Structure 1
Amino acid sequence: MELSDYLRALKRSWLIIVSCLLIGAAAGFTIAANTPPRYQASAMMFVGVTPSDGGSWNLTSSSNYARQAAVSYAQIIRTELVLDPVAEALGIDTDAAALAGRVTATNPLNTQNIEVTVTDRNPVLAAQIANEITQQFATIVADELEGSPGEDDSLVRIEVLQPAITPGSPSAPNRTMNVALGALLGLAAGVGIALLRQVLDTRIQSVDEATSATDLPLLGAIPDTVIDKGSALSVAVSPRSHESEAYRALRTNLDFVGGDPRQGCRTFVVSSCEPGEGKSTAFANLALAIAETGKRVVLIDADLRAPTIASLFGLEASVGLTDVLRRRASLADVLQQWGSGKLFVLAAGQLPPNPAELLGSATMEQTLADLRTSFDVILIDAPPVLAVTDAAVVSRFTDGALLVAAVGSTRRPALTSALGAFEKIGGNVLGLIAMRTPRTADNAYTYAEQPAR
């Protein structure tokens, strides 16, 4: 994916991202509010070595020895040797292992210092334990580790540089940090969900995605609108609407594809990937838009499986194309004029058991040839190309096919497969019609929607 795809994914899922951020922040606050406070008290000790004489060599060696000893002593502090006497002196009913979990001892690099930190829910007890550790450890070093009990011959001494004091505020939980960390994790989760959604959801979300998936030219972008039986023919019902202007733009763009419009009749077939993507509505309105220019237009319902054109125009559906292909009627008998204009409709007629054979027959080719002598434009509404081969078969008799894709429902793999279905049979796909494109601030108010003055 390109950067624009990532940005589009984040914009599309902004509500999920914000929700995850708020949930993360709330979780951080809840955890902090339900976590018992803990206090920390720290004491600092110094490990010193008294040289046997005042020589400079002995002084340097003593300092090096003290630094090395401090590293070892920091590890000894959390052992039973030190903590058992501490627990006994303070009367704490716990063993050394449990007490060690509340004690840390560190030796800052290249120093003779040891810092002892005790964490406890009781601030007074935390300071008492830290101070008791320093006292017990000093005794243990002098009497057991570096000397003999009762003898004052240890050259190593432990001095308390800073005793522990009772902390006035808890060290944990840090509510501000917990909320910030929860919000950050929630934000990361939201972004991850948004990107995963973009990768897993193959539905086309924009016109750019549709064109990039096929490399077909975009002939028209029809905005999303609520369509019912009475408003499907927007070019006739609301000629000044933005939808109607979009169909007129599609009409204009057709003049630049499929050959020279001045060279006789032009024939187009329209199809989609799957049912319900708006192909029949698109072609019906395109036919109305072309008829507005004074051209004679015939709209053929070649969807011999689920015809809808006659229903859209409120015309008779029982006779039509199948009667002509079976030589039961002539074109003059079944062509129906819509309104007082130059638009004629050839309904599907009775549904046959072999639609593909009829549409790919020589009779179909001859029927189109006969219509070319009387009309300027022939529009053929065919079934979805991935469901059946009808559209690809009939496209061989036309100037080219128009492929409909619905933003928000058509999937990228389906669109590429539909294009491949036409190419396999030698059909020529001229361009793409994007249906249900999102309305934006740029197209919400146009000159075409203004009343005439």
Structure 2
Amino acid sequence: MELSDYLRMARRSWITIVACTILGLLVAAAISLSIKPSYTAQTRLFVAIQGSGSVSELQQGNTFSQARVQSYAETATTPAVLQPAIDSLGLQLTPAQLADKITAKTDANTVLISIEAVDPSPVQAAAIAQAVGNSLIAVVENLESPTPGGRSPVKLSVVTPATAPSSPSGPNTRVNLALGLLGGFALGLALTVLRTTLDTKVRGESDVTRLLSAPILGGIVFDAEATKKPLLTQARAQSPRAESFRQIRTNLQFAHVSHASKAVLVTSSLPGEGKTTTATNLAISLAQAGQTVVLVDADLRRPRVDDYLGLERNAGLTTALVGSADVNDLLQHWGEDDLYVLTSGVIPPNPSELLGSAAMKDLITRLEQAFDAVIIDAPPLLPVTDAAVLAQQVGGVVLVVGSSRVKSPDLAKSVAALDMVEADLLGVVVNLLPAKGPDAYSYTYYSNESIPKRPAKTFSSVSRSVDL
């Protein structure tokens, strides 16, 4: 995956990332507020060797004290040191419990021992640190004495007495908030990666490009008004929806330029991806460009073209295929342009057999001879075999992919079904794209308000009869 893929992934799940980051921040703040403040007091001891003070003895004493000072620091947390401190302060603690509050450490290359005590009370913390320091002095003197009651060669002295701290040492709210922020952000990223890995829905052009090698003819942004007004003629001439179909029309003409056949099959993987509206509006767009177009409703299971265009359905494709009437008598002219429609006719019990018959092949050939373009609306590829059967008899196939309506395995199966019958996939139309976000389909176009107005030209209307 490239950097752009990760950025698109983050943009798709930015709400999750932000929510997790805020959650981590709130959890860290709650933990910080729930923890009782603690105070840390410190005392420092100096380790010295008692001798005559000659240079040789001082050097030996310094080396000896540096070698022993770490052992003294370790001794500070032993019961031998802590129990006298407990007794002197009257603490209701065991040596093991007090050891959890004590930290003894040495500074590198020095003979200094730092003893720190942590307690909810600043005064108590200072008292504990000082008591442990005094107890360590007595214990070391006793341990280092050569004989009972003898003089110890080592002397520990307090150089920094413990004082009550004025501010708590914990919890460190800033550090906790920073950790919560980073932890929440990391959790959001992890959930995003997991969601992307498990989510197989095809959401935009990038997903289609990643899955298929076929070119993208164009994208159509989801329009809530299109459910009530699906036709291209019901939209403004310079609307984004109209511009989308003009772009698809242009790209399809380039993709189909080397084909002898004029028939184009429009299908999808599953129902609900918008193949019928795409086929209908593509036919309207081609007719608006001055071509003679015939739109054939070959979805013999759930025909919808007649509903969109307000035409008669009972006499149509199936009527011609069974020989009950000639196709010339079944074509219905629609609109002001040279657009003719062959509706589905009565729904038959054997759609696949009819669409794969020789009569269907002859019908497509006759339509290609009479029209500049033949647009065929076929059933989805996965539920039934009708589209795959029909794809063998046309010049090319346009696959409509509904954003978030189809999953990548289903799309792969559809392409495999077309490859199996050696159909020519001209390109993909990505439908129902979001208007905003990482998967939005954007382009620039000129509106009629942005160009100077010129005197309108009058074109003569040419009517032509279709003779098959």
TM (normalized to structure 2)?
Answer: 0.90
Unaligned 5+ segments in structure 1 are: none
The 5-angstrom pairing of residues 369-388 of structure 1 reads: 369-388=365-384
Deviates more, 1:172-181 or 1:266-275: 172-181
Q: Give yes or no for contact 2:75–2:136 (8 Å, CA) kept in 1.
A: no
Secondary structure in 2 matching 1:312: helix
Partner of 1:72: 71
Secondary structure in 1 matching 2:392: helix
CA distance in 2, matches of 1:210, 1:154: 84
Give the counterpart letter for 1:351 in structure 2.
Answer: I
CA distance in 2, matches of 1:148, 1:422: 100
Deviating above 4 A after TM superposition, structure 1's stretches of 4 or more consecutive aligned residues are 440-446
Report the Cα offset of residue 47 of structure 1. Answer: 1.9
Unaligned 5+ segments in structure 2 are: 454-468
Number of corresponding residues: 449
Q: Give yes or no for contact 2:399–2:429 (8 Å, CA) kept in 1.
A: yes
Give the counterpart letter for 1:410 in structure 2.
Answer: V
CA distance in 1, matches of 2:300, 2:281: 20
Task: Sort the Cα spacing of 1:444 and 1:106 in 2 relative to 1 into closer, same or farther, 3 A.
Answer: same
CA distance in 2, matches of 1:445, 1:211: 21
Task: Sort the Cα spacing of 1:442 and 1:395 in 2 relative to 1 into closer, same or farther, 3 A.
Answer: closer
CA distance in 2, matches of 1:51, 1:365: 116
CA-to-aligned-CA distance 1:386-413 (integer Å, 9 cap, x gap): 2222212111111110111123333333
Report the Cα offset of residue 373 of structure 1. Answer: 2.5
Report the Cα offset of residue 313 of structure 1. Answer: 0.9
Partner of 1:49: 49
Q: Give yes or no for contact 2:266–2:400 (8 Å, CA) kept in 1.
A: yes
Q: Give yes or no for contact 2:434–2:441 (8 Å, CA) kept in 1.
A: no
Q: Give yes or no for contact 2:433–2:441 (8 Å, CA) kept in 1.
A: no
CA-to-aligned-CA distance 1:49-94 (integer Å, 9 cap, x gap): 22477352x4333222212211112111111111111101100011
CA distance in 2, matches of 1:410, 1:173: 51
Partner of 1:26: 26
Partner of 1:6: 6
Q: Give yes or no for contact 1:242–1:449 (8 Å, CA) kept in 2.
A: no
Report the Cα offset of residue 16 of structure 1. Answer: 1.9
Deviates more, 1:33-42 or 1:64-73: 64-73
Deviates more, 1:109-118 or 1:349-358: 349-358
Partner of 1:35: 35
Q: Give yes or no for contact 2:235–2:242 (8 Å, CA) kept in 1.
A: no
Partner of 1:408: 404
Secondary structure in 2 matching 1:119: strand
Report the Cα offset of residue 414 of structure 1. Answer: 2.5
Partner of 1:253: 251
Partner of 2:463: none
Secondary structure in 2 matching 1:232: coil
* Residue 363 of structure 1 pairs with residue 359 of structure 2: yes
Give the counterpart letter for 1:100 in structure 2.
Answer: A
Report the Cα offset of residue 260 of structure 1. Answer: 4.2
Q: Give yes or no for contact 2:283–2:339 (8 Å, CA) kept in 1.
A: yes
Q: Give yes or no for contact 1:401–1:431 (8 Å, CA) kept in 2.
A: yes
Task: Sort the Cα spacing of 1:52 and 1:451 in 2 relative to 1 into closer, same or farther, 3 A.
Answer: closer
Q: Give yes or no for contact 1:242–1:448 (8 Å, CA) kept in 2.
A: no
TM (normalized to structure 1)?
Answer: 0.93
Give the counterpart letter for 1:360 in structure 2.
Answer: G
Give the counterpart letter for 2:342 in structure 1.
Answer: L
Q: Give yes or no for contact 1:245–1:448 (8 Å, CA) kept in 2.
A: no
Task: Sort the Cα spacing of 1:139 and 1:174 in 2 relative to 1 into closer, same or farther, 3 A.
Answer: same
Secondary structure in 2 matching 1:256: helix
Deviates more, 1:380-389 or 1:163-172: 380-389
* Residue 210 of structure 1 pairs with residue 208 of structure 2: yes
Secondary structure in 2 matching 1:24: helix
* Residue 165 of structure 1 pairs with residue 160 of structure 2: no
Secondary structure in 2 matching 1:255: helix
Partner of 2:99: 100
Q: Give yes or no for contact 1:36–1:121 (8 Å, CA) kept in 2.
A: yes
CA distance in 1, matches of 2:402, 2:262: 25
CA distance in 2, matches of 1:361, 1:228: 35
Secondary structure in 2 matching 1:430: strand
* Residue 330 of structure 1 pairs with residue 334 of structure 2: no
Partner of 2:302: 306
Task: Sort the Cα spacing of 1:301 and 1:146 in 2 relative to 1 into closer, same or farther, 3 A.
Answer: farther
Give the counterpart letter for 1:91 in structure 2.
Answer: G
CA-to-aligned-CA distance 1:271-307 (integer Å, 9 cap, x gap): 1122111111111100001111232211111112222
CA distance in 2, matches of 1:61, 1:429: 91
Partner of 1:242: 240
CA distance in 1, matches of 2:447, 2:218: 17
| Residue among 334, 343, 347 paired with 1:347 | 343
The 5-angstrom pairing of residues 223-242 of structure 1 reads: 223-242=221-240
Report the Cα offset of residue 116 of structure 1. Answer: 0.7
CA distance in 2, matches of 1:84, 1:235: 94
* Residue 116 of structure 1 pairs with residue 112 of structure 2: no
CA distance in 1, matches of 2:432, 2:441: 16
CA root-mean-square deviation: 2.2
